[in-house]
Amino acid sequence: MTDYPDSARALAELSPQHGFFVGIDSDGCAFDTMEVKHKECFIPNTIKYWGLQPVSKYARQAAEFVNLYSKWRGINRWPALVMVFDLLRERAEVQARSVQPPQADRIRAFIADSAYPKSNDGLRAYMAAHPDLELDTALAWTLGVNASVADIVYGVPPFPYVRESLAFLANHADMIVVSATPVEALTREWEEHDIAQYVRVIAGQEQGSKSLHLELAARGKYPSQRILMIGDAPGDLKAARANGALFYPINPGAEDVSWQRFYEEAVHKFLAEEYGGAYETALIAEFEAMLPAVPPWKR
């Protein structure tokens, strides 16, 4: 088994209580929180802490593309931040204003070091071994983001048919939350809306990657055709495929319809072991067509 942080022990020690397993992403999948978190929490702090005020319009466009409207939707905040810097650096409008987005060499090194989880605690541990002013700014930024989320993001209910789907699956499948969001925010949101009762573990960035969550909790414990990941981002699909699991997409912009289809149709195919194959392939093709790799200002 892959090495894992101590915080992921609950996943590794999870024993099957049902014959099926379902992992569920949270932001943008179970909850309609992606837009408010990124537009009102992440982006203002990115502009503030990284000196992007002179190009705030372009910083917002780049951040929204990476985090909401592209094939990178839902990736961990650290590679997403670096990607925003890189997109800004190559824009003529940014160059014309003589603004130099950070090269972020120290952040890139942190991302590349697999010994450290890509979380706030992981960053603090990395900083203890590699002190640097850039990382001081990075820590202030990520803490600022989390403070904004705690202050702003509340009262956002699950998408329609999420609660119904979880309640139905409770008698058939072991379920966990599989997310790149900090556990504190996840727990607060799932408990606020009384749906934490349906999942056995709430796993976030502190427990490692989404792929690791699925590996520890499900791989080898259930037949592959009985493991399903529900997500709204290509990273969720990648995590599922890395573990031989099935994938049900929640299409960005059509979340209500996606959850209704899951509740009324797809979940029954899954439990009948009829989900894989042509049905899943068609859903994934529809999903992938909605998330481009090229930003609109390059088309």
Q: Does residue 254 have a pLDDT over 70? A: yes
**Are 166 and 223 members of one domain?**
yes
In a domain? residue 296: no
Q: Does position 97 have pLDDT exceeding 70, yes or no?
A: yes
pLDDT at site 74: 87
Give percent of the chain above pLDDT 70: 100
* Gap between the Cα atoms of 146 and 204, Å rounded: 14
User: Based on the domain organization, do 92 and 124 belong to the same domain?
Assistant: yes
The mean predicted confidence, pLDDT, of the chain is: 96
Residues 223, 225, 228, 234, CA torsion sign? positive
User: Would the CA dihedral through 188, 147, 34, 125 be positive or negative?
Assistant: negative
Q: Are residues 179 and 226 in the same domain?
A: yes
Nearest to 107 by CA among 88, 126, 129: 126
Residue 62 lies in a domain: yes
Domain residues for the domain of 225 are 6-33+158-288
- The structure's pTM equals 0.85
pLDDT tier at 4, thresholds 50, 70, 90: confident
**Nearest-10 crossing angle of helices 105-112, 77-89:** 140
Residue 277 has pLDDT above 90, yes or no: yes
Residues 42 and 18 in one domain: no
**Is 90 contained in some domain?**
yes
**Segment 248-271 mean pLDDT:** 97
How much is the average pLDDT of 75-81?
94
CB 47 within 8 A of CB 38: no
* 284 and 164 together in one domain: yes
Choose one of 152, 187, 207: the last residue of a domain: 152
Considering 132, 152, 172, which residue would you say is the last residue of a domain? 152
**Is 57 a domain residue?**
yes
Q: What is the mean pLDDT of residues 176-191?
A: 95
28 close to 259: Cβ distance less than 8 angstroms: no
Whether residues 225 and 281 share a domain: the answer is yes
**What pLDDT band is residue 296 in, cutting at 50, 70 and 90?**
very high
Q: Does 27 share its domain with 53?
A: no
Q: Which residue type sits at 107?
A: I
Domain boundary among 120, 152, 184: 152
Token code pair at residue 191: 């408990």
Assess if residue 297 is contained within a domain.
Answer: no
Sign of the C-alpha dihedral computed for residues 12, 13, 14 and 19 taken in this order: positive
Domain tally, the chain = 2
Give start and end residues of each alpha helix (H) in 172-299. Answer: 183-192, 210-217, 234-242, 255-261, 267-271, 278-288
Q: Please tell me whether residues 26 and 162 are part of one structural domain.
A: yes
Q: Which residue has the higher pLDDT, 86 or 1?
A: 86
Residue 173's beta-bridge partner residues? Answer: 20
Same domain, 18 and 45: no
Alpha helices in the chain (DSSP H): 9-12, 34-37, 43-49, 56-68, 77-89, 92-96, 105-112, 120-129, 133-152, 162-169, 183-192, 210-217, 234-242, 255-261, 267-271, 278-288
User: What is the average pLDDT across 50-74?
Assistant: 96
C-alpha angle with apex 33: 103 to 186, nearest 5 degrees?
Answer: 85
Domain membership flag for residue 1: no
Residue 293 domain flag: no
pLDDT band at residue 1, thresholds of 50, 70 and 90? Answer: low
Q: Looking at the structure, do residues 162 and 284 belong to the same domain, yes or no?
A: yes
Residues 53 and 100 in one domain: yes
Q: Does some domain include residue 132?
A: yes
**Is residue 195 predicted with pLDDT exceeding 90?**
yes
CATH code for the domain in which residue 260 is found: 3.40.50.1000
Q: What is the pLDDT of residue 2?
A: 77
In this structure, the answer to whether residues 163 and 264 fall within a common structural domain is: yes
